[in-house]
Amino acid sequence: MTDDEFSLFEQEMAGVKRLRQDERVARRAAGESAQALAHRRQAAVTDSSEDPNTLSDREIAPLDPWYVLEFKRPGVQNGVYRRLCQGRYEFEARLDLHRMTVAVARREIFEFIEQCHDYGLRSVLLVHGKGERKPERARSAVLKAYVDVWLRDLDTVQAFHSAQPRHGGTGAVYILLKKSEEKKRENRERFMKGRVPYER
C-alpha cells in the first residue's frame, strides 16, 4: 500500500468507531461442572440404546451417478424381479432424499421403510439423486452409495433396482418390500375362503 493509498484509507475511516463486543457467556446449565458436561456429550454420542435404527453410519465410497443399483434376495421369483426392474409395479409410496444430509437420509429411509412395511405396502420408490452433475466429477453420488448399502441391510427389503427414466432413472430406485404379517393373513383367508379343509 503506497503512502497516498494509506492516507486516503485513513481519511475514509476517520469517523469510524470500534463496535463494543459483549462478553461471551458460557452456555452451561447452572451448577453443571465441566466433567458432567463432558459426560453428557459422550453419552449423546455413544448411547444407541434408544435408537432402533440399524443402518450403518460408517463412511461409504461414492458411486458413479450412472451406476445401476440392483439387488434380489434368494426366493424372489425372476418374473417378479423383472417386472420390478421394468417399473411395472405401481409404487404405493415415495421418498425424495434431495438436499438431505447422510445423517438425515439414514433416519428418513429407516422410518420410511419401516412405516411402509407396517402399512402393508409392497412397492415403493426412493429418489436419491445422482450427486454432482459435472462430467469431471465421476463417482460423486454419495447418497446413492449409502442407499445401495442400507437397503441390503434391511430385512424387509426383498429386492430393489434403479428406476426407469420416466421415474428418475439412475437417480431413483424401485423397492419391493416383504409382505407384512397382516397381508399374509389376509392372503391366507382369501385363498381359503369357500374351501373345506381336507381331512384324511
Considering only 12-16, 30-34, 35-39, 178-182, which range has the smallest mean pLDDT? 30-34
Residue 60 lies in a domain: no
**pLDDT digit string, tens, across residues 43-55:** 655 554 567 888 9
Name which residue leads in pLDDT, 101 or 44: 101
Q: Which pLDDT value is given to residue 16?
A: 80
Q: Which pLDDT value is given to residue 135?
A: 52
Residue 3 lies in a domain: no
Q: Which pLDDT value is given to residue 127?
A: 96
Q: Which domain holds residue 140?
A: 70-186
Per cent of the chain over pLDDT 70 is 74
Residue 24 lies in a domain: no
- Which cell numbers hold the place of 62? 461414492
User: In this model, does residue 30 exceed pLDDT 70?
Assistant: no
Residue 21 lies in a domain: no
**Structural domain tally of the chain?**
1
pLDDT confidence band for 140 (50 / 70 / 90): confident
Considering only 24-28, 49-53, 100-104, 123-127, which range has the smallest mean pLDDT? 24-28
Residue 182 lies in a domain: yes
Residue 31 lies in a domain: no
**pLDDT digit string, tens, across residues 118-136:** 999 999 999 999 876 555 5
Considering only 52-56, 64-68, 109-113, 189-193, which range has the smallest mean pLDDT? 189-193
User: In this model, does residue 73 exceed pLDDT 60?
Assistant: yes
The long-range contacts involving 98-105, CB below 8 angstroms and separated by at least 24 positions, are 98/127, 98/129, 100/143, 102/57, 102/142, 102/143, 102/146, 103/57, 105/143, 105/146, 105/147
Q: Which pLDDT value is given to residue 138?
A: 52
pLDDT confidence band for 28 (50 / 70 / 90): low
Residue 84 lies in a domain: yes
Q: Which pLDDT value is given to residue 20?
A: 74
- Which cell numbers hold the place of 137? 466429477
Considering only 11-20, 36-45, 165-174, 178-187, which range has the smallest mean pLDDT? 36-45
User: In this model, does residue 196 exceed pLDDT 60?
Assistant: no
CATH number at residue 140: 3.30.1370.110
